[in-house]
A = this chain, B = another copy of it.
Amino acid sequence: MKEYFPSIPKIKYEGAASDNPLAYKFYNPEEVIAGKKMKDQLRFSAAYWHTICAAGSDMFGAATADKTFGNTDPMDLAKAKAYAFFEIIDKLGIEFFAFHDRDIAPEGTTLSESNKNLDVMVDLFESLMKEYDKKLLWGTANMFNNPRYMHGAGTSCNADVFAYAAAQAKKAIEVSVRLNASGYTFWGGREGYDTLLNTNMGLEVDNMARFLKLTTEYGRSIGFKGAYYIEPKPKEPTKHQYDFDAATVIGFLRKYGLDMKLNLEANHGTLATHTFQHELRVARTEGFFGSVDANTGDLLLGWDTDQFPNDVYDTTLALYEIIKAGGFTTGGLNFDSKARRASFKPEDVFISHIMGMDSMALGLRFADKLIKDGRIDKFVEERYASYSSGIGKKIVNGTVTIQELEKYALEQGDVKTNQSGRQEYLEGVINQVLFG
């Protein structure tokens, strides 16, 4: 088989002192952390769209990287990308991947032609997955790029678009089932509005629920056992997206009784003015934790930069939440991340994944260390101790009356029992865990 990146070796763990750019310094796949091998804790996944499709264009600039491998025919190109992609994840030792239907096969002039192209490529994927022993973390349908989706997909003002989107999602779910995906994700890229002046919000949100109900139930009917994910994002490309953040989406899922969990993306959380840890905490507290789109944004920029995660504070606190949520079951860490436009060499694809994986590996190591250190968990436990006995316990148990609370407060006169929140102490503990 043709090698697409002959100068790139299999990426190995060489430890923290290595100055080899093509080696892991912190990610040691077989090492056991928190009771499992690192690779099983982290369940890394590469995003087909960034890793092998995205070529560095931005709103003000054309592509900088050549990912055509000399092809011009769309189907030849699609196949070459598939071969190259599996070589990449094989060399990186990444077990999972994720894709949109239109990433892997060219769109035809009709839906049936698109489906046909997709089927051809799914055959190839099936054989490559077997050959390389790789797994599909989740599939999804791209329902935002094509002009037909200019007003949304499930929330389009045009019923023809709703129908088309349902048909496209149906096929994408079928494909995902065929490839034995652990999950299926809905990112509502244009499920929102550009201006309220032309928008019937009530109908659109109801339709979004109708769309998800139809498609998720269909998947179950054909034997899909994995998790459905919905992926919050507050805005971009639209002015407002209905699945704004974790809390909003959970309210929506509860209202309509939908069978879905959350796929949380770090950069989407920060665009909604939340930390990534916050989004994960909401999901685990509410019981909707599913999977993660691993990346980072730039908090001083106002758009989705999809940078590879590099901040180990963020990865540590994310992994802390993930471990506390019980770890991944169907989900994983999917790198919805792209090398910067100026990192345009083939080597940069590998180096950027290495950096992201090492950052996550450090996060895992430190999250485990933090839990073992115990100071923070213990502090939190003691901080809320007043709810474990006396009046506090009755509050939690729901056995207190407001009259009883009033009597208690009047007797106390004022509160004399507040303790320091000790934020700076706890921040110091984090630094000790990371740098001690």
Contact = CB atoms under 8 A, between A and B. Distances in A.
Oligomeric state, in copies: 4
Interface in A270-321: 270-275, 277-278, 281-282, 285, 298-304, 308, 310-313, 317
Nearest to A275: B300
Judged by DSSP, the binding face of A is helix
For the complex of A and B, the 4 pairs showing the least CB-CB separation, nearest first, are A302-B302, A251-B251, A159-B392, A342-B421
Contact of A235 (B205, B301, B379): B301
Contacts of A150: 56, 61, 64, 341-342, 344, 418, 421
Contacts of A83: none
Nearest to A57: B59
A1 interface: no
A147 B62 contact: yes
Nearest to A381: B200
23 contacts: A60-B190, A62-B146, A109-B414, A151-B342, A158-B419, A159-B392, A162-B405, A163-B395, A164-B412, A166-B409, A168-B409, A196-B277, A197-B427, A198-B379, A198-B383, A206-B396, A247-B252, A251-B252, A312-B431, A313-B313, A340-B424, A343-B424, A348-B424
A76 interface: no
A304 to B, nearest CB: 8
A139 interface: no
Nearest to A349: B424
A384 B420 contact: no
Interface in A142-174: 144-151, 157-164, 166-168, 170-171
Given A244-B247, A423-B195, A391 B300 contact: no
A198 B214 CA distance: 42
A60 B159 contact: no
Contact of A255 (B61, B170, B254, B422): B254
Interface size class of A (residues with CB under 8 A): 35 or more
A69 interface: no
Interface in A33-82: 56, 58-64
Given A254-B251, A408-B163, A423 B198 contact: yes
Interface in A366-386: 375-376, 379-380, 383-384, 386
B25 A428 contact: yes
Interface stretch (A4-12, A85-93, A126-134, A354-362): A354-362
